[in-house]
Amino acid sequence: MSIETAITALNSVLGDRLSRSKSDLALHGQSETHFATTSPDAVLYPQNADEVAQAMRICGEHGCPVIGFGTGTSLEGHTAAIRGGVTIDFREMNAVLELRPEDMLARVQPGLTREELNEELRATGLFFPVDPGANASLGGMASTRASGTTAVRYGTMRDNVLALEIVTAEGKIIRTGTAARKSSAGYDLTALFVGSEGTLGLITELTLKLHGLPEATAAAVCAFPDTPSAVQTVIETIQSGVPMARIEYLDAASIAAVNSYSNRADPEQPHLFVDFHGSPSAVAEQAAAFGELATENGGLGFVWSTDEDEKRALWAARYDAYYAILGSKKGARAVVTDVCVPISTLAEAIEKTQAGIAQSGLVGPILGHVGDGNYHAILLVDPDEEAEREQALALQSRMVTLALELGGTATGEHGVGMGKLDYMEAEHGAAWGLMGQIKRALDPDNIMNPGKLVRQN
């Protein structure tokens, strides 16, 4: 009973799908962020759920860890093979299985990316709105309960996954949920697997909710004298029922980074970037209502447009922000923090975080999905300076502690993986134990992505 015997057994039945090449192992052990490369012992490229189930049964028999893999764009070390084992890469399971425009549903395989799905949807007038930035796989997005800029209007993966097909730790294929929009038929297994990071089972199919492409869209941007006035504008806009499709915050440091990167001259103050979706008259009405509230709160230079080129120009600073920030320190890697707080506490949280970053001496602009209370500091560290990485992780730790004090969460959208494991007990208290009970019940031998999300054995 070992990883090697598991791979030998896998090889004899799924040999065509199995790779042990150095480059494959290295690629699947890498991380987008600051985690050390930790490679699996083999990579499997299954073509259907039966092959996944077969692999799970073999790995279960031999006690071999199994790690699901989409595009490798997760940020908290989710796919690192820290106990070795087999990485199951879903890239060959990337089909759109069924489009049902009348039901506004799509049934897809987990390796399909969100951009590929939206490409397929082009002729239907529908789209899949969840947008975490990266062109991630939909299976991976479900596994980490991803969200992004549009969650304020369209929800997160929690809200947009209707049903799943799962291969369990025992190697059974089960289906959770139905194609009906709602159900009261028992435990919400779909919600349990969404966000479970491959620790309870592997997603082999998703039924996703689609949304109608808006008839019109408008974009707006506004600078603010300080963070509290920007956040207050967002609170008042939400309370007044104006449905923003996206509402993004960049702090003054982010704007400065973009100015330098793109040779712009925007005022180096906090900014809000807003999108509105609806009928032409609705988006005009919404933009005007937002502009009024922004101005009442001291906003300066409010501009909005429905013209394609102008919209792109208005949002340019937001689009460029991540690479502008990364580019502001040569050769830097980023520790991308991710906390989420009740919006009433957001201004306080951001300002305290900015003070901490200033004190540390690190470069760390802040941007946020401000309608959700979710914000990220992009802490830049020299990969050759372990002290900087430690400093960044200490800042992250203070951000999480603050978020929990304010009634928030250690991760708004990136997930737990390895990076947030140390905070789970502080966040969940006794409920953390209950998560462990569920893990032990469904994966008693701890072979599903061990060492992520929960602690066991």
Distances (CA, A) of 20 to 39, 55, 70, 72: 11, 15, 18, 18
442 binds a second copy (CB under 8 A): yes
Cβ 304 vs Cβ 287: under 8 Å: yes
CA dist 162 and 191 (Å) reads: 9
Minimum Å gap between C-beta 316 and a second copy is: 27
Minimum Å gap between C-beta 200 and a second copy is: 8
Distances (CA, A) of 324 to 12, 180, 375: 49, 44, 17
Give, as ranges, the residues between 232 and 261 that touch a second copy (CB under 8 A). Answer: 235, 238-241
CB-nearer residue toward a second copy: 82 or 194: 194
Minimum Å gap between C-beta 421 and a second copy is: 10
CB-nearer residue toward a second copy: 215 or 386: 215
281 binds a second copy (CB under 8 A): yes
172 to 211: interface string for a second copy, x by CB under 8 A: xxxxx-xxxxxxxxxxxx-xx-xxx---x----------x
306 to 335: interface string for a second copy, x by CB under 8 A: ------------------------------
| Beta bridge mates, 376 | 367
CB-nearer residue toward a second copy: 7 or 142: 142
CA dist 381 and 368 (Å) reads: 20
437 binds a second copy (CB under 8 A): yes
CA dist 365 and 145 (Å) reads: 25
Give, as ranges, the residues between 57 and 96 that touch a second copy (CB under 8 A). Answer: none
Among 206, 380, 410, 448, binds a second copy (CB under 8 A): 410
Cβ 305 vs Cβ 243: under 8 Å: no
| Beta bridge mates, 173 | 167
Q: Which amino acid is at 291?
A: G
CA dist 241 and 358 (Å) reads: 36
CB-nearer residue toward a second copy: 96 or 173: 173
CA dist 377 and 360 (Å) reads: 13
Q: How far apart, in Å, do the first and last CA atoms of the chain sit?
A: 17
CA dist 416 and 427 (Å) reads: 12
CB-nearer residue toward a second copy: 71 or 374: 374
CA dist 88 and 141 (Å) reads: 16
CA dist 249 and 221 (Å) reads: 10
Minimum Å gap between C-beta 51 and a second copy is: 18
Among 413, 448, 450, 451, binds a second copy (CB under 8 A): 413
Minimum Å gap between C-beta 2 and a second copy is: 27
CB-nearer residue toward a second copy: 152 or 362: 152
Give, as ranges, the residues between 115 and 154 that touch a second copy (CB under 8 A). Answer: 125-126, 144-147, 151
> CB under 8 A: which stretch of 63-71, 110-118, 299-307, 336-344 binds a second copy?
336-344
Minimum Å gap between C-beta 436 and a second copy is: 10
